[in-house]
Amino acid sequence: MSYQTIVHVKDPSAARILVVALRAHGFHPLEQGEGGFPGVPNLFGQEGVPVQVPEDEVRDATLLAEDLLRDMAAS
């Protein structure tokens, strides 16, 4: 299965919340530890933490992620 990045989130805590929310809505995002080096935290660039979903979920997951991030920023 091929994954694609839908957003980059500056705050790692917000990225974790976003991944949980996407899962709760039926999407299948990669956990932050998946696909990286075990035990090596925070190897993310200036863009922030990438949130990735399977290619067939990109369109709908992107819409939801953007709405959730807007809601998080507003509060």
pLDDT tens across the length of the chain (75 residues): 899 999 999 999 999 999 999 999 999 999 876 545 555 554 556 788 999 999 999 999 999 999 999 999 997
pLDDT at residue number 1: 82
pLDDT of residue 66: 96
Q: State residue 32's pLDDT score.
A: 74
Contact yes or no for 35/42 (Cβ under 8 A): no
For residue 61, the model assigns a pLDDT of: 98
